[in-house]
């Protein structure tokens, strides 16, 4: 009997010991000798500088991502990281300057010679293309290729439905044009003119001073009509950038090699360091992280940071100096629906603003590495951010007296009961909702948590005003990141009355304040960039003063840069991921 | 024998039809019972910017505007006769067996499936060889050395193997062997057998062992139980009494009879694995059938789910048929005529 027990115990012990050794933090891997690593780099160095700076060409930059992209086709993608990555094989009219810190938010001409020339009313935008730019097959790129690219990407949802449709929304006649697959007339969409091969003119139906930002979208990367196979174009994308596809496997990955037709002289923003680039899809996040720690990978293409289980490993000890905790260009906030009683009363909304313990919410979502306490809707890395705090409380942990005072003014001195929604499959959001619930309890508000799946959150539930009203969803947890990093790009979809839709809307608080709407519409028509930028901060203040949105967290990514990655910097323009145009590899 | 096989194949086709109809019904009818409209269904495939125009276009192009029985008929017709689709400037032909186009990416499903079969097959065959050999060997030895240290030790390991899920052992193996002691320092990636057989086997070793650990534990316990029962049968005593060598008694009389249930369960397990080793493929990020299934389910992508389900059902049916045929060989009492 003794032997039996001993043997069983031994067997179990062997298995457990294996487990324990994998969890222990010591590593037999030696530190030095690999070369390439920037020994002086400290944590967060890539937020403000280019780490491991290099102009050495050669090597292979390798990327992995835990998801699959919506598409690598520049005309069929909405994903931020694809917008960043696609610049390696697609040149857009304008792009963001590949630079560290605030400079990365600057729009610079790419395929165009200069930024767009607006008419005084900001309704007509003219771009001149650079001379001598060619597709990978040697054909010169003309303005017609850009026009075609915009047409297919915005107007053919039956085949290419993934991308944003801002061009459709703003171009004259955009609501009628059927797209190049249905409408085969040679002139196409009339509001995009191509008077000659180098010139392209966009006629908009409304004044839109952020147009240079729209022109940074991968949708303006030229596509030769004769090579377009609709949804199948992704299998043979024609490159206009320094790299062209040498292979593409649906759902698995792709490899890129140098495009000999790309001429450095026509391109001032791409150092194009690596000789080859490979990207693999659907690699389990912990495996991606392991490869980063192992220095067998250049970057996690998704750029949203390491998995929660990797976090403790990189935050302590020798890995710490290789991390960058970057602002993700997104804020988490609670929308207080102004049509759900008693939030129709501003004092009840202000009670929440004063009473909420943001510090506990920050802890709940993962602490400092995952986000900072927010007092504005605009995150710090969006053009137009201005710092203010209208509801300042000690340590951001709420002010119960002020909250109770507002409740009295609202006619609810003993508090009230309402519902708080969150996405059930987002653990951080669920944890935040629990913290919000606890701090509401302290001021007498009972918030019952209602959860919904992410995929249908906006289309079926919180984005459907009828559903929200009938189910009394007063407090709606949400998060928002801009499609382009300006105050308008950020605020218009979540605070303009025109963004309220019967379904799928993001203005969950149903804020329709004539003053805010007017301020947004006026500012976007103003071609004076400085005045526009100032306006965004003012509008942000108006929204928070209206108290229908409770800013919680400026979200952050915990990025990891391996030793072999060169020219590493965080780009603020692309949701705080690394800039893939700059990136090289010493391997 | 031939008549038996033909009858079984005919039944298999019927079964696949039923499976496809049930999958179709679950996909379309259950959400509708829950109150989802066709527009909401279509909106899932439009991307982030689901405006009304885009939803209408997608609804029409995916055929959601037609009645469900018509959609099912188109699906079946495409499998048998192929179909034409239009996701771009020109219509493209999808030759039979056409499992349709992904609702999400509009890429043909069948080539995706076939390109993934080698991965799943490699994983399943290698693991099966390991678990059969080690599982049966350990089971037999444990039964023969019942109660010894050997028996207790390996049954203890087997207990651990049965209880530890692959997402634990697999992740553990990955963590240890790619980071801690980086034997596979550049990660474990699938390399095609035709590209480099040595690399293929080397990179599959860890997934094989992780998968086989789970199964061999199960098989060891099954074999042990079967052997213990068989070895106490009267005919074993008779065999020994007539002076046969112990090895002959064990191998020819004991094992052969104890193997019958093992073969049955092996057929089921192996068929199921060929339909996608979902967790193993996910853990090791292998692009096999199982990983494709996960993607299809996450995206609510019916053609992918349908394709994977039918391929899995096909393999299960096929393996069961093979098992039944093998019975004839190992059990003299079974005759198909």
Q: List, for residues B187-233, the tens digit of each pLDDT value.
A: 788 888 888 999 999 999 999 999 998 899 889 999 999 999 999 99
Interface residue A448 vs chain B (CB under 8 A) = no
Complete DSSP assignment for A530-582: HHHHHHHHHHHHHHHHHTSEEEEEEEEEEEE--TTEESB-EETTTTTEE-TTT
What ipTM does the predicted assembly reach? 0.88
Do the Cβ atoms of A542 and A61 come closer than 8 Å? no
Please answer whether residues A447 and A550 qualify as being in contact, where contact means their C-beta atoms are separated by less than 8 angstroms.
no
Chain B residues with CB-CB distance to A575 below 8 A:
none
**What's the length of chain A?**
587
Quick check: A481 contacting B, CB < 8 Å? Answer: no
Looking at residue B329, its pLDDT comes to 77
Helix, strand, coil fractions of chain A, as percent rounded to 5: 35, 20, 45
Q: Report the C-alpha gap between B138 and B159 in whole angstroms.
A: 13
Chain B interface test: which of A7, A249, A298 (most B C-beta within 10 Å) = A7
H or E, element range at A254:
strand A253-258
Residue B176: its chain A contacts at CB < 8 A? 18, 21-22
Q: Does A425 contact B at CB distance below 8 Å?
A: no
Task: Please indicate if any CB of chain B lies within 8 Å of the CB of A346.
Answer: no
- Nearest-CA distance B331 → chain A (Å): 36
Place of tokens 């697609």: A90
Q: How far is CA B66 from CA B51, B71, B82, B84, in A?
A: 21, 7, 19, 17
Residue B48 has pLDDT above 80, yes or no: no
Write out the two tokens for B271: 């068929």
| Most B CBs within 10 Å, among A154, A237, A251, to test the B interface | A251
The whole model's pTM is what? 0.89
A459 touches chain B (CB under 8 A): yes
Write out pLDDT tens, residues B68-93: 899 999 999 998 898 888 888 888 88
Find the CB nearest A293 among B61, B159, B179. B179
Interface check for A363 against chain B (CB to CB < 8 A): the answer is no
Determine, for residues B179 and A27 on separate chains, whether the beta-carbon distance falls below 8 Å.
Answer: yes
Collapsing DSSP to helix, strand or coil, B332 comes out as coil
A315 touches chain B (CB under 8 A): no
From the number of C-beta atoms within 10 Å of its C-beta (0-12, 13-18, 19+), residue A375 rates as: middle
What is the average pLDDT value for chain B, to the nearest integer? 88
Contact yes or no for A496/A461 (Cβ under 8 A) = no
Q: How far is B185 from chain A (nearest CA, A)?
A: 7
> Cα angle vertex A554, ends A63, A47, to 5°?
50
Closest Cβ opposite residue A157 in set B57, B112, B283 = B57
Within 8 A of B36 by CB-CB distance, chain A residues are: 460
Q: Which regions of chain A are under pLDDT 50?
A: 1-3, 15-16, 18-35
Instruction: In whole angstroms, give the CA distance from residue B263 to residue B282.
Output: 27
Answer whether B87 sits within 8 Å of A286, measured CB to CB. Answer: no
What's the pLDDT tens digit per position in B251-292? 888 888 888 889 889 998 998 888 878 999 999 999 999 999
Which pair of tokens denotes residue A389?
């705090």
Do the beta carbons of residue A84 and residue A326 sit within 8 Å? no
Quick one: how far is CA A582 from the chain centroid?
Answer: 19
Give the pLDDT confidence score for residue A37 in this predicted structure. 58
3-state class of B244 per DSSP?
coil
Q: Give me the pLDDT at residue A22, please.
A: 43
The Cα A248–Cα A235 span in angstroms is: 6
Yes or no, beta carbons of B285 and A282 under 8 Å apart: yes
Q: What is the pLDDT of residues B91-126, one digit of tens each?
A: 888 888 888 899 988 889 999 999 999 999 999 999
DSSP state of A489: H
Number of H helices, E strands in chain A: 16, 21
Burial class (CB in 10 A: 0-12, 13-18, 19+), B136: buried
DSSP state of A420: E
Q: Would the CB atoms of A157 and B58 count as touching at under 8 Å?
A: yes
On chain A, the residues whose CB falls within 8 A of the CB of B171 are 286
d(CA B123, CA A58): 35
Residue in A with minimal Cα distance to B299: A455
Query: Using the beta-carbon criterion (under 8 Å), do A161 and B185 form an inter-chain contact?
Result: no
Q: Which of A291, A250, A302, A297 is nearest to A278 (CA)?
A: A297
Contact: B156, A12; criterion CB under 8 Å: yes
CA distance B297 to chain A (A): 12
């Amino acid at each position: 009997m003794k032997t039996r027990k001993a043997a069983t115990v031994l067997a179990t012990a062997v298995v457990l010991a294996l487990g324990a050794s994998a969890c222990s933090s010591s590593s037999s891997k030696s530190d030095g000798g690999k070369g390439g690593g920037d020994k002086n780099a400290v944590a967060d160095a890539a937020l403000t500088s280019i780490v491991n700076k290099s102009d050495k060409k050669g090597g292979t930059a390798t990327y992995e991502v835990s998801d699959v992209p919506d598409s690598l086709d520049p005309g069929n993608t909405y994903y931020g990281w694809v917008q960043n990555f696609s610049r390696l094989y697609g040149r857009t009219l304008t792009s963001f300057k590949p630079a560290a810190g605030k400079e990365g938010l600057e729009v610079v001409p790419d395929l165009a010679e200069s930024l767009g020339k607006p008419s005084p009313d900001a309704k007509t935008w003219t771009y001149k293309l650079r001379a001598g730019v060619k597709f990978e097959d040697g054909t010169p790129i003309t303005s017609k290729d850009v026009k075609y690219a915009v047409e297919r990407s915005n107007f053919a949802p039956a085949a290419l439905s993934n991308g944003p449709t801002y061009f459709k929304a703003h171009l004259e006649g955009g609501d009628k044009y059927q797209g190049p697959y249905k409408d085969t007339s040679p002139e196409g969409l009339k509001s995009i003119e191509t008077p000659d091969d180098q010139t392209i003119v966009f006629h908009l139906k409304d004044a839109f001073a952020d147009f240079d930002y729209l022109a940074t979208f991968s949708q303006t990367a030229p596509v030769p009509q004769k090579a377009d196979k609709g949804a199948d174009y992704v299998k043979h994308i024609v490159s206009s950038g320094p790299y062209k596809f040498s292979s593409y496997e649906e759902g698995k990955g792709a490899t890129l090699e140098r495009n000999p037709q790309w001429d450095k002289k026509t391109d001032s923003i791409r150092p194009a360091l690596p000789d080859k680039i490979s990207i693999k899809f659907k690699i389990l996040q912990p495996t991606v992280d392991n490869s980063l720690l192992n220095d067998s990978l250049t970057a996690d293409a998704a750029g949203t940071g390491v998995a929660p289980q990797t976090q403790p490993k990189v935050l302590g000890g020798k890995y710490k100096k290789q991390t960058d905790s970057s602002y993700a260009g997104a804020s988490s906030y609670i929308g207080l629906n102004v049509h759900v009683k008693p939030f129709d009363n501003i004092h009840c909304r202000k009670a929440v603003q004063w009473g909420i313990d943001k510090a506990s919410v920050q802890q709940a979502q993962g602490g400092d590495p995952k986000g900072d306490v927010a007092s504005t809707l605009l995150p710090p890395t969006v053009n137009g951010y201005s710092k203010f705090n209208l509801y300042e409380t000690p340590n951001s942990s709420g002010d119960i007296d002020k909250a109770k005072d507002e409740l009295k003014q609202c006619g609810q001195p003993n508090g009230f009961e309402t519902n708080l929604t969150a996405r059930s499959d987002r653990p951080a959001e669920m944890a935040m909702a629990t913290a919000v619930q606890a701090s509401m309890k302290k001021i007498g508000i009972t918030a019952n948590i209602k959860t919904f799946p992410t995929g249908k959150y906006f289309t079926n539930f919180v984005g459907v005003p009828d559903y929200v009203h009938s189910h009394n969803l007063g407090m709606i947890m949400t998060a928002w990141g801009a499609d382009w990093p300006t105050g308008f790009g950020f605020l218009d979809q979540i605070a303009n009355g025109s963004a309220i839709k019967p379904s799928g809307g993001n203005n969950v608080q149903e804020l329709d304040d004539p003053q805010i709407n007017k301020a947004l519409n006026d500012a976007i028509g103003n071609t004076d960039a400085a005045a526009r930028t100032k306006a965004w901060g003012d509008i942000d203040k108006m929204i928070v003063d209206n108290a229908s949105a409770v800013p919680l967290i400026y979200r952050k990514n915990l990025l990891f840069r391996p030793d072999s990655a060169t020219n590493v910097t965080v780009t603020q323009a692309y949701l705080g991921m690394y800039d893939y145009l700059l990136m090289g590899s010493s391997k | 024998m031939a008549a038996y096989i033909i009858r079984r194949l005919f039944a298999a086709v019927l079964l696949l039809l039923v499976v496809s109809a049930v999958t179709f019904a679950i996909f379309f009818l259950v959400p509708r019972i829950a109150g989802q409209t066709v527009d909401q269904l279509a909106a899932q495939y439009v991307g982030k910017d689901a405006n009304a125009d885009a939803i209408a276009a997608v609804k029409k192009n995916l055929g959601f505007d037609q009645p469900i029985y018509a959609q099912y008929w188109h699906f079946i017709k495409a499998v048998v006769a192929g179909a034409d689709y239009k996701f771009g400037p020109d219509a493209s032909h999808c030759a039979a067996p056409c499992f349709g186009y992904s609702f999400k990416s509009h890429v043909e499903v069948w080539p995706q499936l076939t390109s993934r079969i080698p991965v799943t097959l490699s994983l399943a065959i290698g693991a099966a060889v390991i678990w059969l050999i080690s599982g049966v060997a350990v089971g037999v030895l444990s039964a023969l050395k019942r109660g010894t240290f050997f028996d207790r030790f390996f049954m203890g390991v087997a207990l651990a193997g049965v209880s530890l899920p692959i997402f634990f052992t697999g992740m553990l193996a990955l963590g240890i062997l790619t980071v801690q002691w980086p034997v596979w320092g550049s990660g474990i990636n699938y390399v095609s057998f035709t590209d480099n057989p040595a690399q293929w086997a080397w990179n599959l070793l860890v997934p094989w062992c992780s998968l086989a650990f789970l199964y061999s534990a199960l098989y060891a316990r099954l074999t042990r139980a079967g052997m213990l029962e068989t070895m106490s049968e009267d005919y074993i005593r008779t065999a020994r009494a007539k002076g046969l060598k112990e090895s002959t008694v064990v191998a020819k009389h004991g094992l052969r009879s104890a193997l019958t249930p093992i073969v049955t369960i092996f057929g089921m397990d192996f068929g199921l694995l060929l339909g996608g080793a979902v967790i193993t493929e996910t853990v090791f990020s292998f692009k096999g059938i199982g990983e494709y299934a996960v993607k299809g389910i996450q995206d609510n992508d019916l053609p992918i789910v349908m394709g994977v389900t039918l391929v899995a059902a096909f393999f299960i049916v096929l393996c069961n048929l093979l098992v039944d045929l093998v019975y004839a060989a190992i059990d003299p009492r079974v005759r198909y005529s």
